[in-house]
Amino acid sequence: MERSEAGKLEKAQTTRQCQLAEAEDGVIINVKTKELFTYADPCVQYGVTIAYDEKAYTEARKAVKDLVINTLKQQSPPTSEQAKRIKTLVNKAVALVETKGKAAFSEFRTRDSEWWFGNTYLFAYDKDMNVLLNPAFPEREGTNVHGGKDVNGKLFHDEFMKVVLTNGSGWVDYMFPKPGQTQLS
């Protein structure tokens, strides 16, 4: 159903014209009157009109989803021991690349090593977002990932670059298959 015919519920109430706030003691107050809110307040309206609009529903769901994703996206490192281990690993890898250059990549491609263990592996892009290293998904090496999205529509490769250029390093949450899997996680 794309759009329904509007109907009116004469006894239904709405507070959409009320400005409400929670007081320190947890009670709801009417901001305009600064008094305890009740459904007898003049801002409460009766005779609500209802209808369904598929386009508005879809747009609202997308807006809420985007808000939640952007609000919850991680901008600082998690506090877990695994996160600390990964940060140490990346810093060690950077030092190795600084001394060996791309020759260090062959070490990073070794499975069950300090560089690639479980679902954790190193990957690298150049400044133009060309994949230089991705041992878990070697077919991605040599490709350009600019504009690539995860299942939620997040431009996660671009976000990696943004975080690096803005902060020098950081964390980005995204949905992508783990090595050897096709399911996103």
- Other C-beta atoms closer than 10 Å to the C-beta of 136 total 19
Asked if pLDDT for residue 36 goes beyond 90, the answer is yes
Rounded to an integer, what distance in angstroms lies between the CA atom of residue 147 and that of residue 68?
21
The ranges assigned to domains in the chain are 7-52, 81-167
pLDDT band at residue 183 using 50, 70 and 90 as cut-offs: low
Q: Please state, rounded to an integer, the average pLDDT across all residues of the chain.
A: 84
Beta strands (DSSP E) in 111-152 are 116-117, 120-121, 124-125, 131-133
- Separation of CA 110 from chain center: 30
Among 72-81, 121-130, 169-178, the least confident range: 72-81
Q: Is the Cβ–Cβ distance between 77 and 87 less than 8 Å?
A: yes
Q: Report the CATH number of the 81-167 domain.
A: 3.30.450.20
- Is pTM beyond 0.75 here? no
Rounded to an integer, what distance in angstroms lies between the CA atom of residue 140 and that of residue 163?
21
